[in-house]
Amino acid sequence: MKKFYVPLALFVVLVGFLAVGLNRDPRAVPSPLVGKPAPAFKVAQLAEPGKTFAPADMLGKVWVLNVWASWCVSCRQEHPLLVEFARAQVAPLIGLDYKDTREDGLRLLRMSGNPYDFSAFDGDGRVGIDYGVYGVPETYIIDKAGTIRHKHTGPITSEVLEKTILPLIDELKKS
Amino acid sequence: MIPELGHFCLILALCVVAVQGTLPLIGAQRGRSEWIALARPATQAAFLLMLTSFACLTWSFYVSDFSVAYVAGHSNAQLPTLFRVAAVWGGHEGSLLLWVLMLAGWAFAVAQLSRTLDAAMVARVLGVLGLVAVGLLLFVLLTSNPFERLLPAAEDGRDLNPLLQDPGLVFHPPMLYMGYVGFSVAFAFAIAALLSGKLDAAWARWSRPWTMTAWVFLTLGIALGSWWAYYELGWGGWWFWDPVENASFLPWLVGTALIHSLAVTEKRGSFKNWTVLLAIGAFSLSLLGTFLVRSGVLTSVHAFATDPRRGIFILILLALVIGSSLMLFAWRAPKVALGGAFALMSRETLLLIGNVLLVVAAGSVLLGTLYPLIIDALNLGKLSVGPPYFNAVFVPIMAPVVFLMAIGPVARWKHAAGKDIGKRLWIAAILALVAAAAIPLLMGGWTLLTGLGALLAVWVATSVVSQTVLRLKAGMPPPSFWAMQLGHLGVAVFVVGITLVGGYQDERDVRMEPGDTTVVGGYTFRFNGVKNVPGPNYKAAQGEFDLLVDGTLLKKLYPQKRSYFSSTMPMTEAAIDAGFTRDVYVSLGEALEGNAWSVRVYYKPFVNWIWGGCLLMALGGLFAVADRRYRLKFKSTTVAASLEGVPS
């Protein structure tokens, strides 16, 4: 009576899929922007509203764009790592203060240290829309030609920094 | 001290259920009565220990003991007392503890209410429940201990997620868990029957009230959750096909099939294997649901903080419990005798078709829920499956089920004549066809879906009414008759709700300044402005709206936009004017420049019929449980059965 084994067989297949699924992160959605030119924008800087910033200014350099905000709790989690990263001077680190007020943003940098070369200010979140920001913090690695090569959503961990971000920056710098 | 006491009770409970899950089972197989006799006291002790443990955690919340990590993570000194107590199950660890407490509670109830049942059978049932409890208690103790200390203690708690700070939290999870976990009893009865080889009518009769009780809780739990999402989330929807909603709906679908199949097994002795498989399936899906919610393999609005260790543990538990049950099934099922034969046209056939369709519906929902995971596991990319899939697949499968609901009850067992059925249903058929044409037109436009909905609802409702009238002529029917009719009427009412809301709701997103009006569904909303009001642990911007019909003031509505001190996400509290035939619903969006606000207004015809229908179904279930005639009957026959059973 083989038919009575059918439920068991189906279940075994299901467990197989669940076991594989456990090791995947359902939130890790690959960004459609990876491999595409970084969307252009031109906004005022956070500390000096008189100056502006546009990604085109960075052509010829490998650089990192980090989206952050004073209201974002997990940004504080990655903050010490960013400070460390900045100290090593591997690549320019530019912040994008997202949906924030200038005052709050600047206060946070004063209080917990400023890892950024400078931050661009995106108070109304329009730049964020172009970049498809859906969870702050987000980190983009952009190559010399202005193409986004990697996107990380959520706080950076030391593992991500060591195993993904730093090797990628090294590689991009050589090319 | 109190948290340590709770932890200690939990460990003791593990030891006790380890006894409950082994010795009585071995005793029942070997016929050792002193081991069999252990089942009841062990179950009682386990329940008391679990209750004490749960009380300890509740106490820690009540006195805001922030030296307990779980309390610090899910409560706050400013949290109102009611929510502080409900916050016990507001997170992963506590809700698992509630799960295990309920499992122990169900086992306790079986132990107390099974005096007339054969002792070996009781020992097997309690033993199986004990084994399941061992797995879950290990899970709690090893990966999710709610009593873990946080040293030094936190100054103040992180607070309960503001979305959960609602009376819905007080009732929805316990109800739902009672249902989820309640299927463990049906499961244990099925496994016990497979172990003993006695798959008979007595077994079905014993399982029925337990299964029905669990089903009632699950129905109410799901309905409460849906109602909560409707008024709390402010999205205006009542079902989102979210993976976790599906996780609760899957056991419901299979459980619904099970209660019908059990009826056939009891009355006609047929479908035995099928019933056993459904009993295993319903509880397996409850466990699977727990896995999906707890492991974070799927993204969902219900996701808790996840830890891969937990996922692996519960997957192993799932594999052991379900795998061994299905193995047992495959081994024992071929030996089960077939029940009474029945003709192609009979109540059995109709029930079987309905049953299979329910299982297919559950399968398609399961497939849609797991599809993103399967595709990802096969490295075929990332995708999500949304409501369009579920609606497209679910409606065509369930429509025939609802259609059959009117025919099944008037068809005879064994052999039914088409002529008889036609004689009893032609009025219902005519009325349904008229309704299918007329109701959508009256509501404002005919579409295929609204026509179908009206047809099915009226078809079932008239069939229920005509059967009831006919039956009353022969005297007062027993509760089990009312159970079926109320349950089916509930489905008809539910179908009215979903059809009319789906077809004729109206919503509008508008920018409003004080003094502006907007019209939706014949109702005028006048915006009078927003002012700030304080709350216990939040501050709110509260809008004031006049709801007008034909220029006369019907009601004032006060939707809120709350900022909780502990969270950056603002919460929307919609203001709803609920009614029998419609809800009107307004929620505040964002503050715009000046005094203007973005405002969302809804008109929802017959939306309350959705939950009203669920209530009727649950009420039907209660009637079934309460049927005295039925209980007396099973008492006498189970005594007979147990007498036969003793020598073995």
DSSP string, A110-166: HHH---SSEEEEETTSHHHHHTT--SSSEEEEE-TTSBEEEEEES---HHHIIIIIH
How far, CA to CA in Å, does B2 sit from each of A52, B96, B104, B243, B576? 59, 19, 21, 37, 43
Q: Give B636-646 pLDDT, tens digit per residue.
A: 444 333 333 33
**Do you know the residue count of chain A?**
175
Question: Which chain A residue lies closest to B374 (C-alpha atoms)?
Answer: A17
Task: Name every chain B residue with its beta carbon within 8 A of the beta carbon of A18.
Answer: 291, 297, 315, 318, 373
Which carries the bigger pLDDT value, residue B232 or residue B519? B519
Cα of A60 to nearest chain B Cα, Å? 33
Amino acid at A17: F
Are A4 and B330 inside 8 Å of each other by CB? Answer: yes
Interchain pair B297, A22: CB under 8 A: yes
Asked if B342 has any chain A CB less than 8 Å from its own CB, the reply is no
**What is the C-alpha to C-alpha distance for residues B36 and B103, in angstroms, rounded to an integer?**
20
**Residue B311 touches chain A, beta carbons under 8 Å:** yes
pLDDT at B43 over 50: yes
Above pLDDT 70, what percent of chain A? 93
The pLDDT score that the predictor gives to residue B266 is 87
User: A22 and chain B: CB distance < 8 Å anywhere?
Assistant: yes
Give me the pLDDT at residue B639, please: 38
Position B41 confidence tier, pLDDT thresholds 50, 70, 90: very high
A118 touches chain B (CB under 8 A): no
Reported pTM: 0.82
At residue B635, the pLDDT reads: 46
Task: Quick: pLDDT tens for B439-492.
Answer: 999 988 899 999 999 999 999 999 999 999 999 998 888 888 999 999 999 999
Question: What is the average pLDDT score of chain A?
Answer: 85
Q: Is B299 on the interface with A (CB under 8 A)?
A: yes
pLDDT tens-digit profile of A32-76?
A: 778 888 888 889 998 888 888 998 888 888 999 999 988 777 787
Partner residue opposite B374 with nearest CB, options A7, A17, A73: A17
Q: Assign B275 a pLDDT band (cuts: 50, 70, 90).
A: very high
Pick the closest to residue B247 from B281, B288, B194 (CA basis). B288
Judged by a CB distance cut-off of 8 A, whether residue A5 touches chain B is yes
pLDDT digits (tens, 9 = 90+) for B73-116: 889 888 899 999 999 998 888 999 999 999 999 999 999 998 88
pLDDT digits (tens, 9 = 90+) for B151-169: 888 878 877 877 778 888 8
B388 shares contact with chain A (CB less than 8 Å): no
What is the predicted pLDDT for the residue at A161? 86
What pLDDT was estimated at residue A30?
62
Most confidently modeled range among A31-40, B506-515, B568-577: B506-515
Higher pLDDT among residues A1 and B48, named by residue: B48
pLDDT at B631 over 70: no
Could you read off the pLDDT of B109-151 as tens digits, one per residue? 999 998 888 899 999 999 999 999 999 999 999 988 999 998 8
Q: State how beta strands B575-577 and B582-591 pair.
A: antiparallel
The pLDDT value recorded for residue B295 is: 67
In 3D space, the residue among A171, A170, A169 whose CA is nearest the CA of residue A140 turns out to be: A169
pLDDT at B463: 95
Give the minimum alpha-carbon distance from B359 to chain A in angstroms, rounded to a whole number. Answer: 13
What is the radius of gyration, based on Cα positions, of chain B? 26
CATH number for the domain running over B1-165: 1.20.120
Per-residue pLDDT at B569 = 66
- Nearest Cα to Cα of residue B370 among B385, B389, B380: B385
Least confident of A27-36, B10-19, B186-195, B581-590: A27-36
Choose between B27 and B242: higher pLDDT: B27
pLDDT tens by residue, B323-363 = 999 999 999 988 887 777 788 889 999 999 999 999 999 99
Q: What pLDDT sits at residue B371? A: 87
What integer pLDDT is reported at residue B307 of this predicted model? 63
Residue B321 has pLDDT above 90, yes or no: yes
CB contact under 8 A, B334 and A15: no
ipTM greater than 0.90, yes or no? no
